[in-house]
Structure 1
Amino acid sequence: MPEGDTVLQTAGRLRTALAGRILTRSDLRVPRFAPADLTGRTVLDVASRGKHLLTRVEGGLTLHSHLRMDGAWRVYAPGERWRGGPAHQIRAVLANTEHTAVGYRLPVLELLRTRDEDQAVGHLGPDLLGPDWNADTALRNLLSDPGRPLGEALLDQRNLAGIGNVYKAELCFLAGVTPWLPVGDLAAPTAVRLVTTAKQFLEANRDRPMRTTTGAALRGHGPRERLWVYGRTNRPCLRCGTPIRSADQDSRPAYWCPRCQSGPTS
């Protein structure tokens, strides 16, 4: 599932391609909204909210989409071959005279009134990359269920919006605890530092084509050193050399160093 920084970058590409231009083609390939035609309307803005995308169109309409695990928006020039996947995976096409935006494998695609956007995103906690960010609120949300495993609490977008499985693993590593540690067992300074680090991670990577939490990309090191533990099963920990372990947590892979991180492992 894309992290909040990836979704923010997607919103930026769509905004550059669509905002301020009149749609010459509109094709929503989901049964409920297939009859809708946005042709002739101007795209006003494209915004991200956590992992949600909001394409606002003239006339008080918003096209809400979510990428989830493997959805994607691709932008093409006129005449350019569409390479995002086979035609049957296309869920939306928005085009103007200069660009065509194609949405592939979008599990969430709906057209709603802009005034009703809260129906789609009102449940989200503070957005790590948004103007509503509030660290105190995010911390309270995160700690509201003391018995909940930390990894699950970090991925719950109702607590704070924008963390995906990559940042979950990296944040737990830098906090020195496993993803299964109950949030109520976090020391208070660690909990505060965790929320602060989450904000720093997403801010640092919001404009980077290649995400890093170790700074390796900035030092010219290889891609295997860009992340502390995520995707590094059986590879040596970059800090202590112990092989990284992985296991499922709530149907997603979790990664940890058995030496650097304390706490339960299931």
Structure 2
Amino acid sequence: MPEGDTIWQVARRLHAALAGRVLTRADLRVPRFATSDLTGRTVLDVTPRGKHLLARIEGGLTLHSHLRMDGAWRVHPTGERPRGGPEHQIRAILGNAESTAYGYRLPVLELVRTAEESRVVGHLGPDLLGPDWDPEEAVRRLCADPARPLGEALLDQRNLAGIGNVYKSELAFLAAVSPWLPVGDLGDEVPERLVATAHRLLEANKERPDRRTTTTARFPGTPLHVYGREGRACLRCGARVRKADAEPGNGDRITYWCPGCQPGPTRSGGGADSTSRTRHID
């Protein structure tokens, strides 16, 4: 699933192509909104909110979309054939005289009143890349349930918006704690450092569309510490990086960690992850 930095990049591309221009073509290919006619209206802006995209349109309307695992927006010069997949996978088309945006495989696509955007994104915590970023509130929310495993708490968008599976694994590694350690066991200073590191990394990577990086210049060619590195040597201690597959039914996702650098409970050890109670909210 795309994370906050990727969604920020998508929003920037869509904003550059659509904002300030009149829609000459608008096609929402979902039954509920198939008859909605947006042609003749000006796109005001395209804004990311966590992992959500909000395209605000003249007349007090907002087109809300979420990519989840398989969705994508592609922008092409108007008149050029789209190349994001088979045409039957297109769920939305927004076009003007110069550019046309195609939304593929969008699992969430709805038209709401701009004044009522809180209905679709009001549950989100502080946005790591938003203008109203509030680190103190993010720490408060992250620590609100002391018994909750860290990885699960980081993925819950009600705590802080924008973290996905890559950052979950990388942040736990950088904090040198198990992803299954209860948040209440982190100690007094770790949550604040985690939140600050998350903000720093997403801010840096929002300008790197081709390669997300969490390592330093000491490791050229290795952009990530643990994510996607199962069986390889840990960059810090040399132990073999491990992977835990998603557990069906509890909303968890795949996790990478280093058993040498990240002491504490593990899934196989019957640690805190076995008490998962809430599905993650995107």
Q: TM-score, normalised by structure 1?
A: 0.96
Indicate the SS of the match to 1:110. Answer: strand
Indicate the SS of the match to 1:252. Answer: coil
Matches within 5 A, 1:125-204: 125-204=125-204
Matched, 1:260 2:257: no
Deviations 1:49-82 (A, max 9, x none): 0011000000000000001112110000133231
Residue 124 (structure 1) shift: 0.4
Letter in 1 for 2:163: I
Identical-residue share of aligned pairs (%): 71
Residue 88 (structure 1) shift: 1.4
Letter in 1 for 2:245: D
Q: Considering only aligned residues, what root-mean-square deviation do their CA atoms show, in Å?
A: 1.2
Letter in 2 for 1:44: L
Letter in 1 for 2:220: H
Choose 187-196 or 53-62, whichever is displaced more.
187-196
Distance of aligned partners of 1:234 and 1:220 in 2 relative to their CA distance in 1, 3 Å threshold: closer
Residue 241 (structure 1) shift: 1.4
Indicate the SS of the match to 2:30. Answer: coil
Q: TM-score, normalised by structure 2?
A: 0.91
Indicate the SS of the match to 1:75. Answer: strand
Deviations 1:181-230 (A, max 9, x none): 111110111111111101101011111121100035xx7922xx100000
Question: In the aligned structure 1, how far is the partner of 2:177 from the partner of 2:27?
Answer: 47
Distance of aligned partners of 1:81 and 1:232 in 2 relative to their CA distance in 1, 3 Å threshold: same
1:27 is matched with: 27
2:81 is matched with: 81
Choose 72-81 or 20-29, whichever is displaced more.
72-81
Deviations 1:87-121 (A, max 9, x none): 11111000001001000111100001000000010
Residue 28 (structure 1) shift: 0.2
Alignment: residue pair count: 262
Please identify runs of 4+ aligned residues in structure 1 that moved more than 3 A: none
Question: In the aligned structure 2, how far is the partner of 1:262 from the partner of 1:90?
Answer: 46
2:49 is matched with: 49
Letter in 2 for 1:30: V
Question: In the aligned structure 1, how far is the partner of 2:121 from the partner of 2:82?
Answer: 30
2:220 is matched with: 221
CA contact (8 A) 2:42 2:57 kept: yes
Stretches of structure 1 that go unaligned for 5 or more consecutive residues are none
Letter in 2 for 1:173: F
Indicate the SS of the match to 1:45. Answer: strand
CA contact (8 A) 2:78 2:96 kept: no
Choose 206-215 or 49-58, whichever is displaced more.
206-215
Letter in 2 for 1:78: T
1:96 is matched with: 96
Question: In the aligned structure 1, how far is the partner of 2:254 from the partner of 2:93?
Answer: 33
Question: In the aligned structure 2, how far is the partner of 1:4 from the partner of 1:259?
Answer: 29
Question: In the aligned structure 2, how far is the partner of 1:60 from the partner of 1:221?
Answer: 48
